[in-house]
């Protein structure tokens, strides 16, 4: 996916879950007074790293699109092979589900 074809690269895709801004603020800990990054740091990234210390280098990221106000939990991207392989890491996906209160399957979203 990250190969160059006819001097062009494919667009960036993010693998994970996407939420409307206000839903993300409420879904994790119902704290609309915190920023998405604060919620992410304290309620998702830290608990995930503590629960799965062997996956600490794979702690997912949060991207908040400044234009659409969509919050995307990023497990993988199509930027390189190592990142693409994370889309198949069931331990990371299943570890995030209870923290995010998520029942949907993660999917690929075009960035931005």
Encoding tokens for residue 108? 């690929």
3 inside domain: no
5 inside domain: no
Taking the alpha carbons at both ends of the chain, their separation in whole angstroms is 17
2 inside domain: no
Show the domain range for 45. 13-110
47 inside domain: yes
CA pair distance 54, 20, nearest whole angstrom: 31
1 inside domain: no
70 inside domain: yes
Q: How many domains does the chain have?
A: 1
Residue 5 scores a pLDDT above 80: no
CA pair distance 11, 22, nearest whole angstrom: 27
CB 14 within 8 A of CB 109: yes
Q: Tell me which residue has tokens 């993300």.
A: 24
- For residue 21, count CB atoms less than 10 angstroms from its CB and return exposed for 0-12, middle for 13-18, buried for 19 or more: middle
Q: How far is CA 56 from CA 102, 105, 109, in A?
A: 21, 22, 24
Residue 88 scores a pLDDT above 70: yes
**In 10 A of CB 110, how many CB atoms?**
8
Q: What is the mean pLDDT of residues 14-37?
A: 88
Confidence of residue 4 (pLDDT cuts 50, 70, 90): low
Query: Does the pTM exceed 0.95?
Result: no
8 inside domain: no
The pLDDT assigned to 2 comes to 52
């Amino acid at each position: 996916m990250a190969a160059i074809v006819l001097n062009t690269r494919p667009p960036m895709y993010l693998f994970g879950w996407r939420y409307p801004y206000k839903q993300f603020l409420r879904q994790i800990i119902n704290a609309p007074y915190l920023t998405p990054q604060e919620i992410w740091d304290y309620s998702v990234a830290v608990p995930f790293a503590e629960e799965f210390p062997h996956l600490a280098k794979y702690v997912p990221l949060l991207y908040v699109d400044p234009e659409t106000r969509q919050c995307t939990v990023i497990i993988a991207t199509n930027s390189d092979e190592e990142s693409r392989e994370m889309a198949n890491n069931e331990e990371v996906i299943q570890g995030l589900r209870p923290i995010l209160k998520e029942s949907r399957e993660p999917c690929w979203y075009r960035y931005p």
